[in-house]
C-alpha cells in the first residue's frame, strides 16, 4: 500500500521542494504516477527506427508505459533539474580545438552526482514518512523523464525535443525520485513558447529532425560520436566538423538559452582540457593514458577506440597538417574502425606522403570495411 498523507501532503511537498533546492537542484516539481502522455509517440518513434543501435530502448518499450515498472506501488514522481550551463575561464592551448558537449566538459559523470543528491532527497523523505518506498532514476531506468518533467511543471518540449524552461533554458540535467507517498502534484506545463522559431531545426548539419519535435537519432552528431560503435557514416563525416563528443548546436542557437544563467555549481565547471579538447592530443593517447584521464567521465562511454575514431575525422576536418604523420602511423592501428577513420582522414589531405601510405596500406589490409574505405575516392 502506498502512503497517503493527505492531511499534510501539501506542506510535505513544499518542504520536500525546499530540501531539493538546498541540495543544489535548480528546479523541482511533482507529477502523479501515470502513463506518460508521450508514450504513444515513443512507440511510433521506435517503429520508425529512429533509435538506431540503442537497442535497450525497444527492448524496454513496454516498461516505459507506467512508472509502476520502475517502482511497484509508485504514486508520485518528483522531478528535479540541474543547470549545467557554465562558462570556461581557461585560455585554450589546444593545437586542434575539438568541441565537447557542455554536459561533459566538467569531466564528471552527472549520473553520479545527480544520483547522490537524489538519494539524499530520498533519505530526507524517509525521515518524514518512515517505511515509505523510493527509487532514484537518472537515465538508467525505463522512465520518460522529460515527460514527467513537463507533467511536474518544469517546462515545455522544444522543437529539438529537449525540455525548455523559461528562465533556466534547456541546458538541464534531469533526474527523478519515485515514491509510494502521495504528494500534492504540480500543474503540468501546458503551454509552448517556441512560436514560429525554427533555429534549432535549421542549424542541424545532418537534418536530424524530420519534423518539429521529432529527432531521428540515427542522423544526430551526438549519436554518431557517442552511441555508434562502428564507422561514422561516410556521408556525414564532414558534418562532424570539430565535434569530438556530443553536439550542442540546437541548444546554442535557442533564444531561451541566450539569457539563461550560468551555473556556479562546482561539479559542472568546465575543465580546461575539455573546453575545448585537443583532438591531436587525444588521438595520440595510449589506452592507459585515456582511461587514466577519462575513466568514470562521459567521454569513457564511446571508449578509447570510439574517441580516436572521431578524433581522426576532426583532425581531417580541421586540415591539421601536423596530424598527417600521426595518422599515417595509425594505419597500423589494431582496431579496424579506427583504421577506417584514419584512411578517410588521410584522403582529405592533398599530400603525397598520405597518398603513398594509403597505396601501401591497400596491399596489406585484410579487413573488408577498411579495404572499402581505401578504395573509395573523394573526387
Q: Which three cell numbers stand for residue 51?
A: 533509435
Give the separation between CA 294 and CA 304, rounded to whole angstroms.
9
Q: Dihedral, CA atoms, 125, 131, 136, 141, nearest 10 degrees?
A: -150
Give the separation between CA 119 and CA 144, rounded to whole angstroms.
19
Q: Say whether 186 sits in a helix, a strand or coil.
A: coil
Beta carbons within 8 Å of 253's beta carbon, 6+ residues apart: 199, 200, 203
Nearest to 33 by CA among 57, 8, 67, 2: 67
Q: Under a CB-based contact definition with an 8 Å cutoff, are residues 13 and 30 in contact?
A: yes
Catalytic residue numbers read 139
Give the separation between CA 302 and CA 310, rounded to whole angstroms.
10
Amino acid at each position: 500500500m502506498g502512503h497517503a498523507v493527505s492531511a499534510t501532503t501539501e506542506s510535505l511537498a513544499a518542504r520536500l521542494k525546499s530540501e531539493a533546492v538546498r541540495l543544489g537542484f535548480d528546479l523541482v516539481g511533482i507529477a502523479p504516477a501515470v502513463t506518460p502522455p508521450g508514450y504513444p509517440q515513443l512507440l511510433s518513434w521506435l517503429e520508425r527506427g529512429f533509435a538506431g543501435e540503442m537497442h535497450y530502448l525497444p527492448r524496454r518499450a513496454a516498461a516505459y508505459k507506467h512508472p509502476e515498472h520502475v517502482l511497484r506501488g509508485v504514486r508520485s514522481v518528483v522531478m528535479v533539474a540541474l543547470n549545467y550551463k557554465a562558462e570556461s575561464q581557461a585560455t585554450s592551448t589546444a593545437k586542434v580545438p575539438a568541441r565537447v558537449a557542455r554536459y561533459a566538459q566538467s569531466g564528471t559523470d552527472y549520473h553520479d552526482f545527480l544520483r547522490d543528491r537524489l538519494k539524499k532527497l530520498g533519505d530526507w523523505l524517509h525521515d518524514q514518512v518512515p517505511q515509505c518506498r523510493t527509487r532514484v532514476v537518472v537515465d538508467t531506468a525505463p522512465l520518460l523523464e522529460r515527460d514527467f518533467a513537463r507533467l511536474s511543471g518544469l517546462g515545455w518540449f522544444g522543437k529539438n525535443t529537449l525540455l525548455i524552461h523559461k528562465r533556466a533554458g534547456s541546458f538541464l540535467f534531469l533526474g527523478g525520485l519515485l515514491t509510494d507517498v502521495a504528494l500534492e502534484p504540480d500543474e503540468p506545463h501546458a503551454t509552448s513558447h517556441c512560436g514560429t522559431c525554427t533555429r534549432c531545426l535549421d542549424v542541424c548539419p545532418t537534418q536530424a529532425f524530420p519534423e518539429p519535435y521529432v529527432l531521428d537519432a540515427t542522423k544526430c552528431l551526438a549519436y554518431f560520436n557517442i552511441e555508434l560503435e562502428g564507422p561514422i557514416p561516410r556521408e556525414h563525416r564532414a558534418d562532424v566538423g570539430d565535434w569530438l563528443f556530443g553536439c550542442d548546436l540546437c541548444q546554442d542557437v535557442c533564444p531561451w538559452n541566450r539569457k539563461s544563467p550560468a551555473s556556479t555549481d562546482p561539479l559542472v565547471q568546465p575543465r580546461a582540457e575539455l573546453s575545448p579538447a585537443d583532438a591531436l592530443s587525444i588521438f595520440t593517447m595510449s589506452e592507459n593514458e585515456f582511461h587514466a584521464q577519462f575513466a568514470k567521465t562521459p567521454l569513457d562511454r564511446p571508449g578509447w577506440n570510439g574517441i580516436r575514431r572521431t578524433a581522426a575525422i576532426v583532425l581531417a576536418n580541421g586540415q591539421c597538417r601536423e596530424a598527417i604523420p600521426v595518422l599515417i602511423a595509425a594505419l597500423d592501428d589494431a582496431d579496424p574502425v579506427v583504421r577506417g577513420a584514419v584512411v578517410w582522414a588521410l584522403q582529405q589531405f592533398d599530400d603525397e606522403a598520405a597518398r603513398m601510405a594509403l597505396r601501401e596500406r591497400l596491399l596489406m589490409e585484410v579487413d573488408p570495411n577498411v579495404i572499402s574505405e581505401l578504395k573509395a575516392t573523394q573526387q
